[in-house]
Amino acid sequence: EGDVGGAAYRKHGHPLPPETLEIARSCGAILFGAVGDFSLDHLERRLRPEQAVLGLRKELGLFANLRPVTVFEGMEDLTSLRPEVARKIDLLIVRELNGDVYFGDKGTRTLEDGRRQGWDMMSYAEDEVRRIAHTGFKAAMGRSKRLCSVDKANVLETSQLWRDVMIEVAAEYPEVELTHMYVDNAAMQLVKNPGQFDVIVTGNLFGDILSDQASMCVGSIGLLASASLAEGSYGLYEPIHGSAPDIAGKGLANPMATILSAAMMLRHSFGLEEQAASIEAAVAKALAQGVRGGDLGCSAGTREIGDAVLQAL
Ligand code: IPM
Ligand code: MG
């Protein structure tokens, strides 16, 4: 175990202490909690809790973020969509995690006329796009062989290069049907007809936004797990949600996304498919039995949910 985020800042003065990074490097995989603490939002950016997860992603070369989105049985009525629309969702968001506007130069400056300006540079180098393209195409090969690349090539040069490279890489996967969609349209289609998507590959910022949106299409952000993979089997596994300081220590947080992240860890880092599937089935069973947390408008607490999943397992 290592401290990260707000807790690490309070204890060691840094959200990602060197000891924690060292521990992370020495392991085969990382199960990550969640970061974010609005009481620390006043700190300079490099000390804010979010830097813990951004730092781990970058330092450890975790460039491929897999965010599967499926609707669990019985959840159709609890999503933000009509049940018959939600029922069709079974997609995978492949989000690039090491580049884009997240990691470009940024700053604030004062212009000659005295106005303050904030700026963040968006860029992707072709090799960065190429490696996530391969992740997307390989994922598509293992599913329905359809890959939708989401960009904003009608406005952004970064996106035009993204699209060009996607098309180049597609030549290596003749069996996969590659389509392109602008991100604004993708946001709309995700609500209108999410069943049309199988694998979506997109950049860091668009993937961040679309995955939160997709979570509400299947019920709650408290149910979505993710894997952040480096080349090989090394990975970091975390729920796609942040922390919830307002309910800290109250035993109210839904642990299901974290439990499902552990399942992804067994699958992707340790090759334990059967065990991963058992855990996922146990979560599905607990949900079907009506064990649901506050994020789903119900009342089950952290321990109750954990016990129910264990029981089902
Ligand atoms: C996510 C989160 C992070 C991100 C935050 C906590 C920095 O929103 O994993 O989606 O923006 O990537
Ligand atoms: Mg996010």
pLDDT (0 to 100) of residue 32:
96
What are the tens digits of pLDDT across the range 149-178?
A: 999 999 999 999 999 999 999 999 999 999
Q: How far is the CA of 208 from the centre of ligand 1 (A)?
A: 6
Q: Which two tokens stand for residue 117?
A: 């300006």
pTM above 0.85, yes or no: yes
Mean pLDDT of 236-243: 92
Q: How confident is the model at residue 296 (pLDDT cuts 50, 70, 90)?
A: confident
pLDDT digits (tens, 9 = 90+) for 110-146: 999 999 999 999 999 999 999 999 999 999 999 999 9
pLDDT for the residue 242? 86
* Catalytic residue check, 120: no
> pLDDT band at residue 281, thresholds of 50, 70 and 90?
very high
Residue 288: the pLDDT is 93
In sequence order, the 6+-apart residues with CB closer than 8 A to the CB of 10 are none
C-alpha dihedral (35, 40, 46, 47), degrees to nearest 10: -90
Determine the Cα–Cα distance for residues 3 and 10; give it in Å rounded to an integer: 10
Residue from 37, 100, 152, 237 carrying the catalytic annotation: 152
Backbone angles phi, psi at 235, to 5 degrees: -160, 165
| Catalytic residue list contains 102 | yes
* Nearest of 221, 293, 188 to residue 251 by alpha carbon: 293
**2 near 60, Cβ under 8 Å?**
no
What's the pLDDT at 147? 98
Residue nearest to atom 11 of ligand 1 (CA): 208
Total H helices, total E strands in the chain: 11, 10
